Structure 1
Amino acid sequence: MGSVTLNADLHCHSVVSDGTLSPEQLAARAAGNGVELWSLTDHDELGGQERARTAAQANGLRYLTGCEISVTYLDRTVHIVGLGFDADDDTIRQGLRATRGGRELRAREMAEQLAKVGIHGAYDGALRYVGNPELISRTHFARFLVESGVCRDTGEVFRRYLTEGKPGFVPHRWATLKDAVTWITRAGGQAVIAHPARYGFSANEEFALFTDFKGHGGGAVEVVTGSHSAADAERYADAAREWGLAASRGSDFHSPDESHTDLGRLPDLPRDLRPVWDLLADRIQ
Structure 2
Amino acid sequence: MKYDLHSHTLCSDGVLSPAELVARAVERGVDALAITDHDTVAGLTAARQAINQQQLALRLINGVEISTRWQQLEIHIVGLNINPDCPQFLARLASQQQQRLERAEEMARRLAKSQIPDVLPAVMELANGAAITRTHFARHLVNIGKASSMNDVFKKYLGRGKTGYVPSNWVEMAEAVQWIHDAGGVAVLAHPLKYKLTTKWVKRLAEQFAAAGGDAMEIISPQQTPVQKRELWALCQLHGLTASVGSDFHQQTSWNDLGKNLYLTDDVTPVWHNWALN
Under TM normalisation by the shorter chain, which class is it?
Answer: over 0.9
1:3 aligns to what?
Answer: none
* Contact 1:13–1:42 under 8 Å retained in 2: yes
CA shift, 1:203, in A, is: 4.1
One-letter code of the match for 2:135?
A: T
CA shift, 1:20, in A, is: 1.1
**Structure 1 residue runs without a partner (length 5+):** 1-5
**Which residues of 2 match residues 190-229 of structure 1 at below 5 A?**
190-226=186-222, 228-229=224-225
**Which residues of 2 match residues 1-285 of structure 1 at below 5 A?**
6-57=1-52, 58-133=55-130, 135-226=131-222, 228-256=224-252, 260-279=255-274, 281-282=275-276, 284=277
One-letter code of the match for 1:176?
A: E
Distance 1:44 1:231 in 2: 31
Q: SS where residue 243 of structure 2 aligns? A: strand
* Contact 2:247–2:262 under 8 Å retained in 1: no
Distance 2:13 2:240 in 1: 32
CA deviations on 1:170-217 (whole Å, 9 max, x unpaired) are 011101112211111222211000000011234443333222222222
Count of residues paired in the alignment: 276
* Contact 1:38–1:56 under 8 Å retained in 2: no
Percent identity of paired positions between Structure 1 and Structure 2: 38
TM-score (norm 2): 0.93
Distance 1:246 1:114 in 2: 42
Q: SS where residue 193 of structure 2 aligns? A: helix
Distance 1:233 1:128 in 2: 39
Q: Which runs of 4+ in 1 moved over 4 A?
A: none
Distance 1:82 1:218 in 2: 10
Change (3 A) 1:34 1:197: same
TM-score (norm 1): 0.91
Q: SS where residue 196 of structure 1 aligns? A: coil
Q: SS where residue 171 of structure 2 aligns? A: coil
Q: CA RMSD in A?
A: 1.8
